[in-house]
Chains A and B, each alone.
Chain A
Amino acid sequence: MSLWKVAWRSIQQRSLSSVLTAVAMGLGVALVVCVLVIHGVVKKSFDRGAGGYNLIVGANKGGQLQLVLNTVYHLSRPIGNIPYTYYEWLRDHPYVEAAYPLCMGGSYKDHRIVGTMPDMFDDLEYSEGKNYEFEEPNRNFYYDEFFCAVVGPTAARKTGLKLGDTFQITHGVKEGGEPHADKFTVVGIFEPTGTPNDRAIFVNIEGFFRLKGHVHAEPDAVDPEETTASPADEKGDTPGAPGETEHDTHSPDHAEAVENAEEDHAEDSHAGHDHDGDIPSELKKVTAILVCTSEENLVEAMNLQREINGQTVAQAVVPGDVITELFDGIVGNVQLVLLILVVMVVVVAGLGLLVSIYNSMSERRHDIAVMRALGASRVTVMVIILLESILLSLGGGFIGLLLGHGTIGAFSSRITEETGVVVRAMQFQPTELILIPGLIILASIVGYLPALSAYRTDVAKSLQS
């Protein structure tokens, strides 16, 4: 008969008290499990947001955080626009492998509208090795389908948009704005990605430009004196840089082209959006550009960032840096405080365990004395009490794991809906492994006092009492 069994029998003897003590411990552990899992979900959700690209380039107006929040998480307000020609310059930059322009500023039923190119869904990996997927008959829109859209799964569910539905974009990122006359047709709802893009609606950027008021009658005039010369500038192919007089000289023509495009669009808006004629690049603006540089040479990404930030037109940020800063600075601290609180709950449950075992010592002193009389050493009875404490803690831990993961399982669909991160009841966080040794240490500490009491039992006195 092992000492574990002796301890277990003692627990069984006080079954009600033992179960209540273990459940109290279990509730604390369940809270820890929930916090750890949610922490993992939030971290994953944050990290996943900016997968597949190295830099975000946006207007040089707001802060880096606002640029990332707006571009990656579809939060906050767009900070401003940069010329489309700047996107073209970046796209053709030798350091750049791919660049995806994004236009923002519209919404549909409180969900952000993002104008982009179909390449984003064809080529961009939202997570390492994972591309956007469409289950037939869903599909991506084509370049020439100006007024077509693909919808994130969460946005589709919340807005009720289905394949083939049409919708009108509202001006502004919040509901209540004036809707544009033109309608976009949903050609696809992509599979869940677990990224904030699941909550957004993506339209063909060309259609976005063709909405009334989305192109500019005057091309951008950038003060050459505010722009720092770069190697590209010297070649005269940096937009907004000295030597960009070509844009200015074409201004009247561009204005005319815009008017024509808008008129065409207005006429065609009810006839399948078959717009003819391109809008000159100089009249178009984008909100942000996702830039992929060579994977092998990260120095190029740094040089490109430095080059962009050396100019006044735009700013370039490494999303990972900003996300890490945001997570560690705000979310991480909240999580830490939450974790400290639930660990304190577990410690309080541990104190409950101490009280439970310690209170039982008076009624068990006689049994301990009998064991001593039968030849059990002081250390043996001490170990039995410690094992009892450990068993109760581990039992509580087991209850807590079941309860915690059960709760996660019960809310998994809701979590996936809200965050896009797929969570399953039996999905364990590596940090949960700390729980087992942690509980054993806690049980040993709180069990020490009653164990010491058992150690000091006066056998002769207890047998006679």
Chain B
Amino acid sequence: MLQLAKIKKSFHEPDGTVLPILDIADYHVSPGEQVVVVGRSGCGKTTLLHVISGISRPDSGRVKLDNIDLTVLTEAECDRYRAERIGYVFQTFNLLAGFSALENVLLAMRFTGRRVDADRARQLLDRVGLAHRVTHKPAQLSVGEQQRVAVARALANRPKLLLADEPTANVDSGHQQQVVDLLRETCREEKVALVMVTHSPDVSDQFDRIDRLEEINAVVSV
């Protein structure tokens, strides 16, 4: 389902020097598969998710999702494709403060260009145990509740792939397992492939497939 081929990504430093980040020859994730990517801080885990989601374009190589090459799409097409096919859960949740829990989920639906399905948004919030908190703003929710809203938002458009960037990093240890369980269960129910980035062994050890970035990224392995 997800295929990365000969991906190279580098950043340009202010002094003009080029800083290589990713050099991945081949990487793939099957439909409905749950994968955890681990690696030390600064090794390019978030950049990898940005490249997969089309937020960042690789310098070279191909990113294919459902046999569609994101690198040949225009930026607008890529945005639309991301909205429709990819869910994203951020480390800091990134809920929009001015919107209620329900509106945060609805907002994600808005960008697909399809009809906004308020019933599904409510069902998802119900699924993550927040049926009674739909009108609450993020500031009125606990950290764990905020992360659950973020999960509901990521699943709003029935994506094929859900990317989670260290979703337990800002959650206390008591709630870490709840977040992991929620992500894995909902992805399983919705038949969504999951690629989760983490540096926590407690989290990564629960996955059948653990990809170490040092092993797949030539830049890190050098």
Chain A interface residues (CB < 8 Å from chain B)? 1-3, 6, 9-10, 12-13, 366-367, 370-380, 459-460, 463-464
Contacts and interface: CB of A to CB of B under 8 A. Distances in A.
B71 to A, nearest CB: 15
Given A1-B116, A377-B80, A13 B97 contact: yes
A375 B55 contact: no
Contact of A377 (B53, B56, B79, B94): B79
Nearest to A370: B94
A7 to B, nearest CB: 10
Interface in B30-86: 46-47, 50, 53, 55-56, 75-76, 79-80, 82-84
Given A1-B110, A6-B107, A12-B98, 12 more contacts: A370-B94, A373-B82, A373-B88, A373-B94, A375-B157, A376-B79, A378-B79, A459-B56, A460-B50, A460-B55, A460-B56, A463-B90
Contacts, number: 76
A371 B55 contact: no
A13 B50 CA distance: 28
A377 B54 CA distance: 12
Contacts of A464: 46
A1 B107 contact: yes
12 contacts: A1-B107, A1-B110, A2-B110, A9-B103, A13-B97, A367-B97, A370-B94, A373-B82, A374-B88, A375-B84, A375-B108, A375-B112
A367 B96 CA distance: 6
B163 to A, nearest CB: 10
A379 B55 CA distance: 15
B88 A6 contact: no
A10 B97 CA distance: 9
Nearest to B53: A373
A10 B96 CA distance: 9
Nearest to B102: A1
Contacts of B94: 366, 370, 373, 463
Nearest to B153: A374
Contact of B55 (A3, A372, A378): A372
Helix, strand, loop or mixed for chain A's interface? helix
A184 B19 CA distance: 103
Contacts of A460: 47, 50, 55-56
B156 to A, nearest CB: 9
A1 B97 CA distance: 16
A12 B10 CA distance: 39
Shortest 10 CB-CB contacts between residues of A and residues of B: A375-B83, A13-B98, A375-B111, A9-B98, A377-B79, A370-B94, A1-B106, A376-B111, A460-B56, A374-B108
Contacts of A371: 96, 107, 111
Contacts of B55: 372-373, 459-460, 463
Contacts of B82: 373-375
B83 to A, nearest CB: 2
A375 B79 contact: yes
Q: Give the size category of B's interface with A.
A: 20 to 34
A9 B99 contact: yes
Nearest to B88: A373
Contacts of A370: 90, 94, 96
A96 to B, nearest CB: 74
Interface in B114-133: 116
Nearest to A379: B76
Contacts of A2: 110
Given A1-B116, A370-B96, A463-B55, A377 B107 contact: no
Given A6-B107, A380-B111, A463-B90, A374 B98 contact: no
Nearest to B163: A373
B97 A374 contact: no
Contacts of A378: 75-76, 79
Nearest to A368: B96
Contact of A374 (B47, B56, B111, B116): B111
Contacts of A372: 55, 79
Contact of B80 (A1, A10, A373, A375): A375
Nearest to B51: A460
Nearest to B100: A9
A11 to B, nearest CB: 9
A374 B103 contact: no
Given A460-B55, A464-B46, A374 B107 contact: yes
B54 to A, nearest CB: 9
A280 B109 CA distance: 96
Interface string B174-210: 0000000000000000000000000000000000000
A290 to B, nearest CB: 67
B170 to A, nearest CB: 14
A374 B83 contact: yes
A293 B50 CA distance: 86
A459 to B, nearest CB: 5
Nearest to A11: B98
A144 B24 CA distance: 114
A377 B90 CA distance: 19
A366 B95 CA distance: 10
Quick one: which of A1, A3, A13, A375 has the most chain B CB within 10 A?
A375
B82 to A, nearest CB: 5
B9 to A, nearest CB: 10
